[in-house]
Amino acid sequence: MTEQQTWSQRFESALHPAIARFNASIGFDIELIEYDLTGSQAHAKMLAHTGIISPEEGNLLVTGLEQIRQEYRQGTFNPGIDAEDVHFAVERRLTEIVGDVGKKLHTARSRNDQVGTDTRLYLRDQIQKIKNQLREFQAVLLDLAEKNIETLIPGYTHLQRAQPLSLAHHLLAYFHMAQRDWERLVDVYRRVNISPLGCGALAGTTFPIDRHYTAELLDFENIYANSLDGVSDRDFAIEFLCAASLIMVHLSRLSEEVILWSSEEFRFVTLKDSCATGSSIMPQKKNPDVPELVRGKTGRVFGHLQAMLVMMKGLPLAYNKDLQEDKEGLFDSVNTVKACLEAITILLKEGLEFRTQRLAQAVTEDFSNATDVADYLAARGVPFREAYNLVGKVVKTSIVAGKLLKDLKLEEWQQIHPAFAADIYEVISPRQVVAARNSYGGTGFAQVRNALLAARVQIKK
């Protein structure tokens, strides 16, 4: 460890090389470098501002850190395992660039408050990016819905045909899930956006620092009130992973539907060549790899949430090295959510073609208008449960006779109940079945048009 020695003089021998590798986080926390530099610049400015170091020293530190940023961007700063982590790597390079004054950067600071600051700055950026991606996803859903207000699609419960729907209504369900996802991120952001900088190792510092000053420079909304909590809190990351997991739940549900819809059994959508793949042996195959991958990747995000919860649950205050384990899962979750949102958005935008003829046909092939027959009688004074039982019988005899409800003659209807009149045929036509569900939030075309307008307003906020 002679070369990489950063520890105090109390250490006599170097780390075992395997232990150095085991201990190091530079392999993944290099992802935080830009945030580390920004955080350190704010800290250096604060040290000068409070007179803890001189203004000249402050300037040197800030410009030296900026040089590291340029080196990193140009690809010439590539710290190795001997640096242990990104914080040491930066401090060491800074001292090479600006000389001994570089060693003053760590005054009144610990890597514990430093890494907490970096992670929050990183997550703040990523949350904004994911929020933007959610908005794009929502906009594509709205465009698709707009075009398909009058397209009918079977609606299911228990994956059994239930009642037909406007396809737009079905798509808007995903819009609203994404809206909650977006709002959840807004909420999570509030708790990510709190500065732990200046909490020190665990107890604060003997120097006359100004935590509000660094918080302001870094655009934090607030600062941690308790130093122990500040350095050891990872609630913000767990909350983010919860929000990320729910985004994945929603993308995975949509994926599952696209997979079903593209199957020969459903034939509701065709996958365009730009978003489908073939088989290496079966020449006829066109596979929905994109939604399958999204569905498959969901598990790892849930896993990272679980890992973080378990990692935290037994930790005594304050910082423990276990906390170094917060990063890889967080980064992987961020990258996974971003990649999945991008892929699904492209899939919806240009990779899917709804087979409208087939859909129009599909909604005429079943008994999904049976509720409407019961409602017809109920609206004419028959108690609903009685009407329900009557229609159940009609469905049973129709199945035996190999007929659908639309095939029954008016006399047959009137034998079932005298309240039936010639308008029953219109009432049970799929288009009317959908149009009639005009209760607030229902699939009726008028409702769907209103919902679309409201959704457009919602994503402008």
Note whether 92 binds ligand ARG by CB under 6 A: no
Asked if residue 331 binds ligand ARG (CB under 6 A), the reply is: no
Q: Side chain identity at 241, as an amino acid letter?
A: L
413 binds ligand ARG (CB under 6 A): no
Give the β-pairing of 222-223 and 194-195: parallel
Whether 304 is catalytic: no
Residues 100-159 that bind ligand ARG (CB under 6 A): 111-112, 115
Question: Distance between terminal CA atoms of the chain?
Answer: 54
E strands, 180-338, where? 194-195, 222-223, 269-271
Geometric angle at alpha carbon 307, from 304 and 310, rounded to 5°: 150
Residue 347 touches ligand ARG, criterion: CB under 6 A: no
User: Nearer to ligand ARG by C-beta: 254 or 323?
Assistant: 323
Size of the site for ligand ARG (CB under 6 A): 10
* Strand partners of residue 353: 270
User: Closest distance between ligand ARG and the C-beta of residue 85, in Å?
Assistant: 4
* Binding status of residue 25 toward ligand ARG by CB under 6 A: yes
> What is the biggest distance separating any 2 CA atoms in the chain, rounded to whole angstroms?
101
Q: Is 38 in the site for ligand ARG (CB under 6 A)?
A: no
> Which residue among 324, 333, 371, 398 contacts ligand ARG (CB under 6 A)?
324
434 binds ligand ARG (CB under 6 A): no
The three-state secondary structure class of 443 is: coil
Beta bridge mates, 153: 165
Among 99-107, 174-182, 320-328, 442-450, the segment contacting ligand ARG (CB under 6 A): 320-328
**CA distance linking residue 326 with residue 331, whole number of Å:** 9
Q: Examine residue 8 and tell whether it contacts ligand ARG (CB under 6 A).
A: no
In whole angstroms, how close is the CB of 71 to ligand ARG at the nearest point? 21
Catalytic-role residue among 16, 54, 263, 279: 279
| Torsion sign across C-alpha atoms 277, 283, 285, 286 | positive
Q: For residue 297, which phi and psi values (nearest 5 degrees)?
A: -75, -15
Task: Tell me the β-bridge partners of 164.
Answer: 154
Question: Least distance in Å: CB of 233 to ligand ARG?
Answer: 13
Instruction: Return the number of the residue (321 or 409) whose C-beta is nearest ligand ARG.
Output: 321
- The verdict on 239 binding ligand ARG (CB under 6 A) reads no
Specify the residue, 90 or 115, whose C-beta has the smaller distance to ligand ARG. 115
Between 248 and 308, name the residue whose CB sits nearer to ligand ARG: 308
Alpha helices (H) in 278-421, listed in sequence order: 289-313, 326-346, 356-362, 370-379, 384-401, 410-416
Task: List C-alpha distances in Å: 155 to 158, 160, 199, 434.
Answer: 10, 8, 55, 10
User: Among 158, 274, 280, 439, which one carries the catalytic annotation?
Assistant: 158
Catalytic residue status for 158: yes
Among 37, 323, 340, 428, binds ligand ARG (CB under 6 A): 323
**157 strand-pairing partners:** 160
Task: Report whether 42 contacts 341 (CB < 8 A).
Answer: no
Among 35, 182, 224, 319, binds ligand ARG (CB under 6 A): 319
Tokens, residue 142: 């709205």
If binding is defined by CB under 6 A, does position 85 make contact with ligand ARG?
yes
Query: What is the token pair recorded at 138?
Result: 């929502």
In the complex, least distance from residue 324 CB atom to ligand ARG, rounded to whole angstroms: 4
Residues that bind ligand ARG (CB under 6 A): 25, 29, 85, 111-112, 115, 319, 321, 323-324
* Active site members: 158, 279
